[in-house]
Structure 1
Amino acid sequence: MAQYATEALILSVRNWGEADKMVNFFSKEFGKIAAVAYGCRRPRSPLAGGMQVFSHLQLQVMGGNSLDTIKQCETKQTFKQLRENLDCMAYAAFLTEVVNEVCPERHPEPHIYDLLLNAFQLFSKRNPRLVALAAGYRILEYTGYQPNYEQCVVCGKHIATDSFFSLSKGGIVCEACKELPQISFSLKMRDFINQLLALNWEEPQSFSVSGAVLMQVEKLLIDYLHFILEKPLKSLEFIQQLAELPKVHT
């Protein structure tokens, strides 16, 4: 099979065999790829330092029928702080798991790649909870799972008041079209989601949000991801152990 070069972010890593690792990486040019790094757990392996989750690498990869093989790597950024700060690590793990779950194999998603790289760079500079939340909602936009926050997804009526959110229909519903069980969806939630979606990742603006709205918008994202994936995200167990902040400033 042909060998190729690509810029990539490491999404997940697990030990395999006596000295190898199974690696899921997200390539700027080729999307999500499963590969094996032979011998990388040996101390003298040139791959040893690079095969760490969250690493930003330049890779030389040999294509395979089912699994590719990582032949060489050059470290561009280690994002060491993501592994040393519990908050950053938890929310970075959440994002990498979301990307792992919603992105198909070998399907280029350059916008998601750039988003993930920007998020990794911001985690240690801004509140990691807000960074992950903004990136999570943006990933829904890029993958076609974006909910409708403006019109009732049943009757099409524009909604300018507090309303309800339907997981099964993928958006807000009016009073007449609401279903049970129902999720309350306030205008404050919509305004906050729109702020997150409009975040300038190069020069992120500062804003504040009440703890109540933050938790509601966060829970909505988690519930919606659970619904579309048909399973809970494993990284949430770690996040749920972190202290909730009553008010968060970027």
Structure 2
Amino acid sequence: MALYGTEGIVLGARSWGEADKVMTIFTRERGLVRAAAFGCRRPRSPLAGAMQMFVHAELQFAEGGRLETVKTASVRAHHAKLSLDLTALAYATFVAEVIREFMPEGITDEAFFDRLSAILTAFETRNPRVTALAAVLQTLAAAGLQQSYERCLHCGVLIEGDAFFHTRENGVLCADCRTEDSAAFSEELRLLLISLEQLDWAHPPSLQLRGGTLMAAESLVLAHVQELVGHPLRSLSFLAQLG
């Protein structure tokens, strides 16, 4: 069995057998990886500490057919707020589920790995709701599934001011190209979505948000995610319970 080492961030885990887990880990060198972590549910397992949600770890894997195997793991970073703040945990769990759904397995994306690390760090200090929305928008863009907010889908003109949104076509229309089944799309909402999709995590701006605009942005993005997935997301039930 060939061995290889890499950094990874834990984005999913499910119990398997009496003491094992099947992990979903986003790695620097191989993108999304699914791996067996044998014995990690035993308290004295050397893997136990690193096989927790959102831990950033140094890992050694053994290559496998359907699953890799985690051979060694040491913690590089543990995001304490995600263990202590239920709201931050719920939104981070939503982001993790979106990444598991849409990012391809086994495809290297070092830029997205660095972005993911910065996103989890942002949950420590920034509004978790806004952080999650920006993270989901950027995940969809990385997967090539983003909606269009800047240029008219039909004529390509750069949009200025208010416009219209066509849900089935997943993008914005100018006034000249609007259709009967498109909806009003305010400049404020459009610019918010663009700013979150392009947010620089190393130098995040101070955003002035109105609650109604944020809710509209969430509704638009969540409807898009649900349509793409085709089934209910478990993390949204978790968020709904927080009320």
* TM-score (structure 2 length as normaliser): 0.93
Instruction: Quote how far apart the aligned CAs of 1:57 are.
Output: 0.5
Report whether the alignment pairs 1:154 with 2:162: no
Give the Cα–Cα distance (whole angstroms) in 1 for the partners of residues 125 and 183 of structure 2: 33
In structure 2, do the counterparts of structure 1 residues 240 and 41 end up closer, same or farther at CA, with 3 Å as the change threshold?
same
Q: Go from structure 1 to structure 2 and tell me whether the alpha carbon gap of 1:90 and 1:183 turns closer, same or farther (over 3 Å shift).
A: farther
User: Which residue number in structure 1 is paired with residue 111 of structure 2?
Assistant: 111
Gaps of 5+ in 2: none
Measure how far apart 1:183 and its partner are: 4.1
**Corresponding residue of 2:5:** 5
Deviations 1:91-123 (A, max 9, x none): 110111111000111111222211111111111
After the TM superposition, which residues 57-206 of structure 1 pair with which residues of structure 2 at under 5 Å, given as runs? 57-175=57-175, 176-180=177-181, 182-206=182-206
Give the 3 Å change call, closer, same or farther, for CA 28–221 of structure 1 in structure 2.
Answer: same
* Stretch deviating more after TM superposition (191-200 or 57-66): 191-200
How many corresponding residue pairs? 242
**Stretches (4+) displaced over 3 A:** 155-159, 174-177
Contact in 2 for aligned 1:155/1:177 (Cα 8 Å)? no
CA contact (8 A) 2:149 2:193 kept: no
Q: CA distance change for structure 1 residues 160 and 205 in 2, over 3 Å: closer, same or farther?
A: closer
Between the aligned partners of 1:44 and 1:158, the Cα distance in structure 2 is 59
- Give, in whole Å, the separation in 2 of the partners of 1:114 and 1:26: 10
Moved more, 171-180 or 200-209: 171-180
Deviation at 1:43, TM superposition (A): 1.8
Q: Secondary structure at the match of 1:75?
A: strand
Rounded to whole Å, the distance in 2 between the matches of 1:151 and 1:195 is 15
Q: CA deviation at 1:216?
A: 0.4
Mark the CA change 1:150 to 1:81 in structure 2 (over 3 Å): closer, same or farther: closer
CA distance in 1, matches of 2:80, 2:208: 28
Tell me the distance in 2 between the aligned counterparts of 1:184 and 1:83.
40
Structure 1 spans left out of the alignment, 5+ residues: 244-250
Q: CA deviation at 1:174?
A: 3.8
Cα 1:93–1:173 shift into 2, 3 Å: same
1:169 corresponds to which letter in structure 2?
A: E
1:32 maps to what in 2? Answer: 32
Q: CA deviation at 1:154?
A: 2.8
Secondary structure of the residue aligned to 1:59 is strand
Indicate if the aligned counterparts of 1:20 and 1:41 stay in contact, CA closer than 8 A: yes
Quote the offset at 1:30 in angstroms.
0.2
Deviation at 1:195, TM superposition (A): 2.1
How many Å separate the matches in 1 of 2:241 and 2:183?
Answer: 24
Q: 203-212 or 51-60: which moved more?
A: 203-212
Give CA-to-partner distance per residue, 1:180-232, whole Å, 9 cap, x none.
Answer: 3x443211111112222342211322122100100001111111111222233
The amino acid that maps onto 1:178 is: T
